[in-house]
Structure 1
Amino acid sequence: MATIIKRFLPRSLFGRWLMLLVAPIVILQALLTYIFYERHWDIVTRRLTLGVAGEIAVLIDTRRENTDPTVLSALIERMQRSLEMHVTFQPGGKLPSDLPPPRRFSILDRMLIQALGERLNDPYMIDTQRSSHWVTIYAQLPDALMTVVVPESRVFSSSTYVFMIWMASASVLLLGIAVLFLRNQIKPIRRLAEAADAFGKGREITDFRPAGAEEIRAAARAFLAMRDRLRRHIRERTDMLAGVSHDLRTPLTRMKLQLSLMPAGTEIEELKSDISEMEKMVEAYLSFARGHSEQPAQPTDLGGLIAELAEDVRRRGRELKVELDEPITLPLRRLSFKRALSNLVENALRYGRNVRLTTARHGSRIEIRVEDDGPGVPEKERHKVFRPFYRLDQSRHGSGNVGLGLTIARDAVLAHGGEILLGQSEMGGLQVTIRLPV
């Protein structure tokens, strides 16, 4: 039952707050209309209809008991002047047969028929539909047809309509004020969510400041403090990594120079190979560090960036097949994202002969795929290859694979608010899929 109820509840905070305001107003108006106004309407209309029915009954009894036409005429004239009741007698007349039936849901028709039934002993009919301001009552007397025309205001009170209109207008006005107030309260929450989303996507937040209620301001201040701590932590880590990597270059260069002055031998060549491997690792460290120290994201033509990457591959004598779905412009940190794509393409070129790079738009996200026809990555190893320094073939030294390529690529993609996935390519090798928010 609770699941069914939740299915119909609004999902947004604005919708739920609005429902909390609207539901009591609607319920209150329904109860007031049914309990108070409906009862008030019934009582007032009944008293009015009983009064008119009683006056008609008095007139009929007076006509039966008094045969003097002068007295009856004076009474009819007085009733017309004082009670706004127009009375006529048609000798030998019969009740009309073309009158519309009483309205089923009309309080006036129901109360008038009930009051006439209590006061009159003669057959009667009513007509409340042919005129919007007058009510006609027909009474079948033994020798004549009595027709009574009275204003509708004498048998029906329209003040209830006025009360209901005032109540509905006041409710709509208060509801409009409440909606404006809710919008102003929800706006800081939405801006906080947008700022958190932009920060998660690696985009610069420039115009965000705490606003709204005190609780919302506290959450915004906590977010800004968290953002500053994360930036400081990343900056310190990057500076430390860059400093250590840079300082390692000096002893490595000195060792390389000393080895070049020593006589050639197997051990010397092995040491040179190890130093070369260490130099590549240091370069990978610096490349990783530079990815964090780059400028904020800027609108970038993804097609142009991929074209530059394909041209770099062509200069090295290889071919990168590119398939672009449509022109795409995204806020990117150009150098770090190009480095990520370059690492993925280099891995594909290292292990495969044919490499394909495709882009496609799927709703609110962009997909970039790098595929090759190489040996691929076993499914049980795919969650490990993003670890720093992890290599599928640990015995492959001097291959140029330090073990940071996929780590740098994943770090750059995550910094843009995206995700990177590994799968099986239709070409037979590895398929790397990058998903970025638009």
Structure 2
Amino acid sequence: MRLIKRLLPRTLFGRWLLLLLAPIVLLQALLTYIFYERHWDTVTRRLALGLAGEIATIIEMRDRHPDPIVFGNLLIAMQNRLQLQVSFMPDGKFPADLPPPRLYSILDRMLVQALGERLSQPYLIDTQRGDETVAIYVQLPDALMRVVAPENRVFSSTTYIFIIWMAAASTILLGIAVLFLRNQIKPIRRLAEAADAFGKGREIRDYRPAGAEEVRAAARAFLAMRDRIRRHIRERTEMLAGVSHDLRTPLTRMKLQVSMMGSSGEIEELKRDIDEMDKMVAAYLAFARGQSEQPAEPTDLGNLLHELADDVRRRGRELQLDMTRPPTLMLRRLSFKRALSNLIENALRFGRTARLIVERHPGHIDLHIDDDGPGIPEKERHKVFRPFYRLDQARHGSGNVGLGLTIARDAVLAHGGEIRLDRSPLGGLRVSIRLPA
């Protein structure tokens, strides 16, 4: 069963074509076999038996009329009526250069069988003369009889015509069916392309439902789903932005009040808590901006990475870039740049060295961000993408509120990509991003 599944076409067009092609081929093979066995075989056999019977009749007449003149007159009359050329070579022997009968030829096979049924004398046939005639040699006691007959006396060409017409008609009908199938498959492919583009964050401008009613229903459902997702993202983004913005006002008042309260241990702890809350609100706003809809546009990945390296250099650190011929991708530039910036900041925060590698592959691009820091334990790697989840070493004094990896993951997923964590060749953490090219 698995072997059959592997052999079957994977595309819908291929499977539909197989459903059309298999019955046609099977029907043609069945019809050809029946026609070959019943019609062609029967007709050819009867024609061959008729010719063999005529030859046997001529031999019998020669035995009954030993007078050469009488037999000669009868032979001339029979030749004219039967369209045969008959000659006798006294004391003749079979030609030594006659080709053997062809086993695959129905003409040779039927002629040999018919002669074997009608004649008791030795015989040979020559069906490969090249002039649309066949020659039959019969060894008589006193002579070698040669009979030359038109090939159509023993072979019907209507079978070839029937097969050619059947194959031509089937090919034309199959071609029409293929064109029809392509037109039916095209709306499904466009729907798949539209869904893929939406999953990668690209704008779908000229897509309209088309094709059969079922395909149109699927397309309308996709468009409705797209609008609901966009509305949900917009409402959530506005809510996050509104809540974060509204929190800035009481935080500002709290900062002002605390600054006027003097200095004590409790006041310093309160200031630290307010600062942490302010950073969390700022992270909320960054997260909301990352979720906002930005149009994807062609972006030179090399220029974007050099900008990030320059930003790191201005802060007194260094980012190693390893890339050759970086491509131009359809990206939401601001959100993707913010995602890479968060990942690079994490690498520089916990390690002394950070390196970014770009690898081009057929159909996708891989970006690897390596550092030589402590890394992340394997059992914690699936948790760090949760909002506000922080490891113990990142909880104190790092200014981290636990949204950097969440923002990076959402930005990568919005571009139709993948993100995963692994062990870095430098000894720390490797963040790998795969984007469709």
Q: For this structure pair, what is the TM-score category when the shorter chain's length is used for normalisation? A: over 0.9
Q: 1:315-326 alignment to 2 at 5 Å?
A: 315-326=314-325
State the 1:340 CA deviation.
0.5
**CA distance in structure 2 between the partners assigned to 1:121 and 1:355 by the alignment:** 100
Do the aligned residues in 2 keep the contact of 1:128 with 1:136 (CA within 8 Å)? yes
DSSP 3-state at the match of 1:10: coil
Q: 1:145-224 alignment to 2 at 5 Å?
A: 145-224=144-223
| Structure 2 residues without counterparts, runs of 5 or longer | none
State the 1:46 CA deviation.
1.3
Alignment of 1:300 onto 2:334: no
Do the aligned residues in 2 keep the contact of 1:126 with 1:138 (CA within 8 Å)? yes
DSSP 3-state at the match of 2:325: coil
RMSD of Structure 2 on Structure 1 (CA): 1.5
**CA distance in structure 2 between the partners assigned to 1:395 and 1:353 by the alignment:** 16
Q: 1:332-351 alignment to 2 at 5 Å?
A: 332-351=331-350
Partner in structure 1 of residue 372 of structure 2: 373
Alignment of 1:286 onto 2:285: yes
Do the aligned residues in 2 keep the contact of 1:332 with 1:416 (CA within 8 Å)? yes
* Cα separation, partners in 2 of 1:249 and 1:394, compared to 1, 3 Å: farther
Structure 2: which amino acid aligns with 1:281? Answer: M
Alignment of 1:60 onto 2:63: no
String of CA shifts for 1:80-120, please: whole Å, max 9, x gaps. 32221111111221222221111112111111122222222
**CA distance in structure 1 between the partners assigned to 2:398 and 2:326 by the alignment:** 36
**CA distance in structure 2 between the partners assigned to 1:386 and 1:119 by the alignment:** 93
Q: 1:42-61 alignment to 2 at 5 Å?
A: 42-61=41-60
**CA distance in structure 2 between the partners assigned to 1:66 and 1:382 by the alignment:** 110
Partner in structure 1 of residue 21 of structure 2: 22
Segment drifting more, 101-110 vs 261-270:
261-270
Segment drifting more, 396-405 vs 233-242:
396-405
Partner in structure 2 of residue 418 of structure 1: 417
String of CA shifts for 1:152-195, please: whole Å, max 9, x gaps. 01111111110011111111111111111111111111111111
**CA distance in structure 1 between the partners assigned to 2:330 and 2:407 by the alignment:** 19
State the 1:263 CA deviation.
2.4
Segment drifting more, 160-169 vs 22-31:
22-31
Structure 1: which amino acid aligns with 2:64? Answer: E
Do the aligned residues in 2 keep the contact of 1:357 with 1:371 (CA within 8 Å)? yes
String of CA shifts for 1:248-291, please: whole Å, max 9, x gaps. 11111122122222323332222222222111111111111111
| Structure 1 residues without counterparts, runs of 5 or longer | none
State the 1:398 CA deviation.
4.9
State the 1:73 CA deviation.
2.1
**CA distance in structure 2 between the partners assigned to 1:95 and 1:107 by the alignment:** 23
String of CA shifts for 1:123-180, please: whole Å, max 9, x gaps. 2211111234001111122222211111001111111110011111111111111111
Partner in structure 2 of residue 97 of structure 1: 96
Number of equivalences: 437
Structure 2: which amino acid aligns with 1:271? Answer: L
Do the aligned residues in 1 keep the contact of 2:326 with 2:358 (CA within 8 Å)? no
DSSP 3-state at the match of 2:15: helix
Partner in structure 1 of residue 385 of structure 2: 386
Do the aligned residues in 2 keep the contact of 1:300 with 1:332 (CA within 8 Å)? yes
* Cα separation, partners in 2 of 1:399 and 1:139, compared to 1, 3 Å: closer
Partner in structure 1 of residue 224 of structure 2: 225
**CA distance in structure 1 between the partners assigned to 2:172 and 2:241 by the alignment:** 63
DSSP 3-state at the match of 1:286: helix
Do the aligned residues in 2 keep the contact of 1:298 with 1:331 (CA within 8 Å)? yes
**CA distance in structure 2 between the partners assigned to 1:149 and 1:294 by the alignment:** 90
State the 1:222 CA deviation.
1.0
**CA distance in structure 1 between the partners assigned to 2:283 and 2:258 by the alignment:** 23
Partner in structure 2 of residue 113 of structure 1: 112
State the 1:298 CA deviation.
0.7
Segment drifting more, 252-261 vs 262-271:
262-271
State the 1:426 CA deviation.
1.6
* Cα separation, partners in 2 of 1:195 and 1:42, compared to 1, 3 Å: same
TM-score under structure 2 length normalisation: 0.96
DSSP 3-state at the match of 1:291: helix
Between the aligned residues of both structures, percent identity stands at 74
Partner in structure 2 of residue 432 of structure 1: 431
* Cα separation, partners in 2 of 1:78 and 1:238, compared to 1, 3 Å: same
Structure 1: which amino acid aligns with 2:257? Answer: Q
Structure 2: which amino acid aligns with 1:427? Answer: L
Structure 2: which amino acid aligns with 1:361? Answer: R
Structure 1: which amino acid aligns with 2:38? Answer: R
Do the aligned residues in 2 keep the contact of 1:294 with 1:336 (CA within 8 Å)? no
Segment drifting more, 256-265 vs 379-388:
256-265
**CA distance in structure 1 between the partners assigned to 2:107 and 2:402 by the alignment:** 89
**CA distance in structure 1 between the partners assigned to 2:98 and 2:261 by the alignment:** 127
Do the aligned residues in 1 keep the contact of 2:40 with 2:159 (CA within 8 Å)? yes
Structure 2: which amino acid aligns with 1:71? Answer: V
String of CA shifts for 1:399-429, please: whole Å, max 9, x gaps. 3111111111111111111111111112121
Do the aligned residues in 2 keep the contact of 1:294 with 1:335 (CA within 8 Å)? no
**CA distance in structure 2 between the partners assigned to 1:337 and 1:214 by the alignment:** 39
